[in-house]
């Protein structure tokens, strides 16, 4: 059954996929971080959506939509327009994982597509320390049955089935 991005069920589906892929993450080492995801509207008519993802060892222990990040003490926030997130997830879906141009590392490097926000230098460090684990988490979108996208320039909703993994 397809899940809609951006939504709490989308990130929970990635968390469930991670729970079934411990070997994929075990080789990357322990992954302990709390990440904020801010999905900005593509135009002035929409509202931003905020999500918190908490990782401990080889699991995503929290995937929740939130009204603000304050009580969660996120290490860093990945922020970008809905169309940028959609392009990244479509690239992952089409290729079975992000290509170099659509990786978190590339998209945040110059702050042009996704912006990295943090209050503490340790937060900045955690993005790069756990970059491969974060990328592998997002790459699990290729294993989902399908993804629909809510809002954005592509219309109110569009559906794309993911390839067989």
Return the ∠ at Cα 65 (arms to 12 and 59), rounded to 5°: 35
What confidence category does residue 156 fall into, taking pLDDT thresholds of 50, 70 and 90?
very low
pLDDT value at 13 more than 70:
yes
Peptide bond into 6 cis (omega under 30): yes
Taking alpha carbons only, the member of 152, 155, 151, 145 closest to residue 3 is 145
23-69 pLDDT per residue, tens: 889 989 899 999 999 999 998 888 999 999 999 999 999 999 999 99
Residue-wise DSSP of 76-98: EEEEEEHHHHHHHHHHHHHHTS-
**pTM for the structure as a whole:** 0.87
**pLDDT at residue 142, as a whole number:** 95
Question: What percent of the chain has a predicted confidence (pLDDT) above 70?
Answer: 90
Among 104, 42, 41, 47, which residue's Cα sits nearest to residue 76?
104
**Of the candidates 16, 42, 18, 37, which has an alpha carbon nearest to the alpha carbon of residue 149?**
42
């Amino acid at each position: 059954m397809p899940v809609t991005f951006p939504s709490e069920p989308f990130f929970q589906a990635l968390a469930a996929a991670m729970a079934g892929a411990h070997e994929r993450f075990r080789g990357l080492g322990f992954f302990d971080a709390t990440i904020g995801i801010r999905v900005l509207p593509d135009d002035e008519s929409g509202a931003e959506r905020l999500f918190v993802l908490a990782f401990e060892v080889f699991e995503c222990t929290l995937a929740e939509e939130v009204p603000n990040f304050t009580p969660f003490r996120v290490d860093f926030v990945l922020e970008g327009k809905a169309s940028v997130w959609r392009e990244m997830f479509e690239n992952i879906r089409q290729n079975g994982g992000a290509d170099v141009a659509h990786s978190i590392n590339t998209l945040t490097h110059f702050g042009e597509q996704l912006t990295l926000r943090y209050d503490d230098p340790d937060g900045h460090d955690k993005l790069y320390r756990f970059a491969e684990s974060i990328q592998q988490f997002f790459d699990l979108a290729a294993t989902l049955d399908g993804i629909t996208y809510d809002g954005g320039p592509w219309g109110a909703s569009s559906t794309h089935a993911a390839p067989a993994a």
